[in-house]
Each structure stands twice: as C-alpha cells, then as structure tokens.
Structure 1
Amino acid sequence: MSSESEISANFWGDMPEEEYYASQGVRNTKSYFDTPNGKLFTQSFLPLDLPVKASVYMTHGYGSDTGWLFQKICINYATWGYAVFAADILGHGRSDGIRCYLGDMEKVAATSLSFFKSVRTSESYRHLPAFLFGESMGGATSMLVYFQSEPELWTGLIFSAPLFVMPENMKPSKVRLFLYGLLFGMADTWATMPDNKMVGKAIKDPEKLKIIASNPRRYTGPPRVGTMRELARVCQYIQDNFSKVTAPFLTVHGTADGVTCPTSSKLLYEKASSEDKALKLYEGMYHSLIQGEPDENANLVLKDMREWIDERVERYGPSKS
C-alpha cells in the first residue's frame, strides 16, 4: 500500500487513465498540435456511448493546464453528449513557451484558435453547433479568440469567473512597470512581480485545495513582468470592446470571488450586444466554481451550464428535418 503522503499520478489516484475515463463514460485522447508559435499540447474528451450534439473548445486559467482538475469540467460536458477539445495555452502545462509568460495575449489566443479552428471546421464537426468555454484568465483568452474569429464560427460562449476587469489587488504598480520598462524589454520575462497567493482565495473546499496544489504542472512562481503588463492591457481592451460581442453567451460568477471580480461578468452582460445573454451569480461562492467548491455547489453550477448549452443546441442546432 502506498502512503497518502506519496503523490498520486493523477488527481483521482493511481487507477490507469483509460480505466478512469471509461468509468466516467468518456474517451480521452492526447496529442501535440504544431503552430508557427510552437507546439500546443491538446486533449479531447468524447462521449463513449452518446451521439455528439455539439463541440466545445475549452481554455483553462492562469498557471493551470488542461489536465489535473480542469479536466473535470471537460469530462462533465462530454458526459452530456458534447465533444470537448482543450489545449494547454502557450507557456502552460505541456505546451511550448516560457512558463506562464503571457507577453502577447493576441498571439496566445491566435495559437489556441489555430487548433480550435482545425477541429471546428473538420468534416466531423463543421455542421454541428460549437461553443467556446473559458475559465478565469481563460475567459479573457477565449474572448480574444472570439474577437479573432469569423462572426459565424461560434454558436455561443460560456464563461466561468472570467477575468475581464483587473481587481485592485492584482493591478501591477505603474511605477514598477515603468522602472522595468526602462530596461527596454529585457525584464519582460522576469518572474519578479508581487504574488498575491491567489490559489488560496480561489478554492473553498480545503480537500480540493490540497488536490489542486499537488498538480505537478501548476506554475507556482511569482508572476512575470510582461504577463501582468499584458493582462492589464487586455482587460482594458476587452472592456472597450464588450459591445462587439453578439454571440449568445452565459457568464457565471461567485459573489465571494477573491481572484476575478464579479464586475467582469456584470459588465459583459450589461454592455454586450448579444440578444441572447445570461448572467448567473452564486451567493457566497469563490472563484473556482467547479473545481474548488463543495460538490453540491459545483453541481448547481454544472446543472445551470448544462441547461443553458442544451437549450442553445436545441435552438441554434441543425434543423431537425
């Protein structure tokens, strides 16, 4: 028997991966996708015994990856009959790039889009509805992917605690950025910005916090100069362009989110031009709504997401002739 202090190979323990996915009713594949900006590590989660209703393209948050606990979201969607595709964004997980360096978010988004689009326009999925899903900073990345896409590419958007507004305690000091800026970009990749220990503010369930903290691919160093500069710029850019959002969307946020403020979701809801839009706020919930809340809370969020996406597939899917 291995002691509990030993690190498991996976968040669920030492059960072989294929067995675990099969036990969840899902088939998982892993591969690398070549782009001009480097290789992306990608995963798919497909329902084992259900017809595919639509495809969903998922983007994880800062310092995270598509494995470990994030895949719980992917697996849930697959069990509802969705083909789920996810990529570790540049600089994260098993993808290329300097660890957690996001100096050019437009490039990061374009790189993920090149993978998503290759699947979305393939023979298997081009005729089915398609949705973008972004969690936390992945919400900002997904929004940039949406802005870079042809208008009709995506049927709808789903955001979980998205980062569209920088909370005051996350905003990089202008003085600090100015001083680093005097180094003519040499400091851009330095991991020297203040670290606000966000993970403890994101996860409510202490047992889930332990599991998330044990992810061997999670970035735990201080934020890089260019990353904080760029996140501040991108948040402002997205706010300035909320009115360009016309696709149906659902955005969800916990009212006790200590990482991304609920204002992000509220402003999107108020300013987007979409005719079909939904905002759900969960009283007292933290940042990580599906991975970090007690099961009964996470299941409530998942239920709302499932009802929303199922209804949109019914409403906007291929005509039932």
Structure 2
Amino acid sequence: MTTPETKTPPNFWGDMPEEEYYTSQGVRNTQSYFETENGKLFTQSFLPLDQQPIKGSVYMTHGYGSDTGWLFQKICINYATWGYAVFAADLLGHGRSDGVRCYLGDMEKVAATSLSYFLSVRDSESYQKLPAFLFGESMGGLATMLMYFQSKPNTWTGLIFSAPLFVIPENMKPSKIHLFLYGLLFGMADTWAAMPDNKMIGKAIKDFDKLKIIMANPRRYTGKPRVGTMREIARVCEYVQDNFSKVTAPFLTVHGTSDGVTSPLSSSMLYEKSPSEDKTLKLYEDMYHSLIQGEPDENSQRVLGDMREWIDERVKRYGSNN
C-alpha cells in the first residue's frame, strides 16, 4: 500500500485565497514587477486596511536564499497593522526577481537595484513627506546598509536591522583557500555553487514547527553557496565594518545571543562605532538567528513589541523632518 503524497500548500498559511488571507490580517497586499537596468524585481506592498492616516513608510529586505513571499511577509504584515505602508522586493537572484539564483557577485549592484525601487516609492507624492525607514534582516541587513551608503543624506528617517550580517561567525566564514583557488579561474567559477554548505537554516530557526514551514518554501534556495556570493559577502562585511563611522541616522539593531548564522558582534560593533546620536541595541538572551519567523511566539512578539515601540517613537520624535 503506497502512502499518498503530501501536497505542499501554495502559501505558508495553507490553501486560503491570498486576498482573503491578507484581509483577515488587516492589510491590503499588492504584487507587481519593477523594471530596472539590471532586470525585473518582484515587489510587494502591504497597506493597513483601516482608514487611519499612514504614519510612515518602511522598505524591507529579506535574507540570503529567502524571498518576500513566504514567512518574511509576516514582518511586513505586522508593520502594516501598526499603521505603516510597507514595501518589499525580492533581491536580484532571489524569489521571483531576475538573476542567477542566489548569486550576489556584485552586492553594490544588487543593493542599488532594490534601492531604485524603494526610492521610486519613497519619492512619490504619497510618501515623500512622511517618515521613511529602511529595514534589513540577516544578509538583507548588509544590503540595506549598502543602500543607506548609496542614498543622499537625510533620505531615511531611520534604519532597522534584525540579526544583520556585518560580522561572519568563524565557523561560517568561507575558506580563503577555496576562494583563492577558484579565483585562479579568472572569474569563470564565480557563479559555481561549489562552496561548503554549513547548514545555515538549522542554526537559524529555534521553533521546529516553524522550521518545517520555512523549509516548505518552494522559492527557497537550497543549493550550495556560490563562489562569487561568498567572496562578495566577505568583502562587503569588511567594507561595512570599516565604514560604521558613516552611520549617522537613527537606528535600531536587534540580535539573539545564540545566533549561529550572523555574529551578535554585527550589532554590537555597529552600536559601538556609529556616531549616531540616536542608536539602540537590543540583545535577546538565548534567541537564535530568525528572531521573528523562527522563535516561539512569545519571543517573536517580544522582538516585534520592541520594534513597534522604537519606530513609533521615532515618528513622534522626527515627524516629517527627514
């Protein structure tokens, strides 16, 4: 007797139609493609359904191998229900955007491509006078920091980082020998999925039921890291560390002390080295990497509560003076 195959639901919440699900969450979702010189980006917006005035806009970037269309959007939905207009884009090479899957051989270009979409919204008539925040999770935090460096002064009211990748843990660092040997091939190996896989997802998610949901994402990248991706992440981490002194915007950075994917030093070094006059560091004892999608509900609600308190306070403090 054969066991019937288990069909993967089209969405993490199950078979409920998308519009019905988003309405049940109190948000209106739109999806579209944004044309750039580097290819198409898949984009989403999340707006609160209630008629209260929008407090500000938030521009969100997901982590390595992920996308905006699975559990990451739970972060987007939460911010929208707090009264914010949320915009998110799948990075080049991720999700439903163009590009070689999970290839980040030029992170400056990857960041600039997402930034072009974010600025098209941020500079629009609807949002140009409202407070605006960049949000980055994990490797998306690294891309977000590049977007901040690429932006004109005072473009952003504040920055929010969730377990950002600025410092790679020793056991996750790419082998310099591997990178050197592949480098001898004059770039031909740059897109090869040939680097050791350190099983990041198991180090990121504490809640086993949520781990199963995340692993069911049909758009999640499951191959080995590409040579150029690991080379570039290592380079950009070093570059960002060398330029923490340029981070002058208000920011919140949060990290779990048991994060095995991105070192908590990422957040603490940013906090220590940035000259920003409004900076906040939150370290959560014994929490893993995925603070919102991967922790037990009581933990993720604690993190979300701290984020809400921080962003609401900055809107009151700075208003539209950005």
1:206 alignment partner in structure 2: 208
1:250 alignment partner in structure 2: 252
Residues 195-232 of structure 1: per-residue CA shift (max 9 Å, x gap): 00100110000000000000000000000000000000
Which structure 2 residues correspond to residues 167-246 of structure 1 after superposition, within 5 A?
A: 167-246=169-248
Residues 116-136 of structure 1: per-residue CA shift (max 9 Å, x gap): 000000000000000000000
Instruction: Quote the Cα distance in structure 2 between the aligned partners of 1:61 and 1:222.
Output: 16
TM-score normalised by length of structure 1: 0.98
Deviation at 1:4, TM superposition (A): 9.2
Deviation at 1:318, TM superposition (A): 3.0
1:71 alignment partner in structure 2: 73
Specify the code of the residue in structure 1 equivalent to 2:26: G
Q: Secondary structure at the match of 1:164?
A: coil
Deviation at 1:41, TM superposition (A): 0.3
Instruction: Quote the Cα distance in structure 2 between the aligned partners of 1:4 and 1:190.
Output: 33
Deviation at 1:175, TM superposition (A): 1.2
Among 54, 57, 60, which residue is 2:56 paired with?
54
2:15 alignment partner in structure 1: 14
Which structure 2 residues correspond to residues 238-317 of structure 1 after superposition, within 5 A?
A: 238-317=240-319
Specify the code of the residue in structure 2 equivalent to 1:46: L
TM-score normalised by length of structure 2: 0.97
Instruction: Quote the Cα distance in structure 2 between the aligned partners of 1:187 and 1:259.
Output: 25
Among 70, 89, 96, which residue is 2:98 paired with?
96
Instruction: Quote the Cα distance in structure 2 between the aligned partners of 1:148 and 1:39.
Output: 20
Among 117, 120, 136, which residue is 1:118 paired with?
120
Deviation at 1:20, TM superposition (A): 0.4
Instruction: Quote the Cα distance in structure 1 between the aligned partners of 2:320 and 2:59.
Output: 19
Instruction: Quote the Cα distance in structure 1 between the aligned partners of 2:28 and 2:53.
Output: 13
Q: Secondary structure at the match of 2:28?
A: strand
Q: Secondary structure at the match of 1:239?
A: helix
Instruction: Quote the Cα distance in structure 1 between the aligned partners of 2:173 and 2:203.
Output: 16
Q: Secondary structure at the match of 1:68?
A: coil
Residues 65-111 of structure 1: per-residue CA shift (max 9 Å, x gap): 00110000000000000000000000000000000000000000000
Specify the code of the residue in structure 2 equivalent to 1:318: S
Instruction: Quote the Cα distance in structure 2 between the aligned partners of 1:169 and 1:87.
Output: 30
Instruction: Quote the Cα distance in structure 2 between the aligned partners of 1:278 and 1:181.
Output: 39
The alignment's C-alpha RMSD in Å is 0.9
Specify the code of the residue in structure 1 equivalent to 2:250: P
Deviation at 1:170, TM superposition (A): 1.6
Q: Secondary structure at the match of 2:71?
A: helix
Give unmatched runs, 5+ long, in structure 2.
none
Could you say if the C-alpha distance between residues 4 and 248 of structure 1 is closer, same or farther in structure 2, counting changes exceeding 3 Å?
Answer: farther
Q: Secondary structure at the match of 2:294?
A: coil
Deviation at 1:174, TM superposition (A): 1.2
Q: Secondary structure at the match of 1:69?
A: coil
Deviation at 1:5, TM superposition (A): 2.7
Deviation at 1:173, TM superposition (A): 1.1
1:44 alignment partner in structure 2: 45
Instruction: Quote the Cα distance in structure 1 between the aligned partners of 2:98 and 2:225.
Output: 18
Deviation at 1:169, TM superposition (A): 1.4
Instruction: Quote the Cα distance in structure 2 between the aligned partners of 1:256 and 1:39.
Output: 36
Specify the code of the residue in structure 2 equivalent to 1:257: D
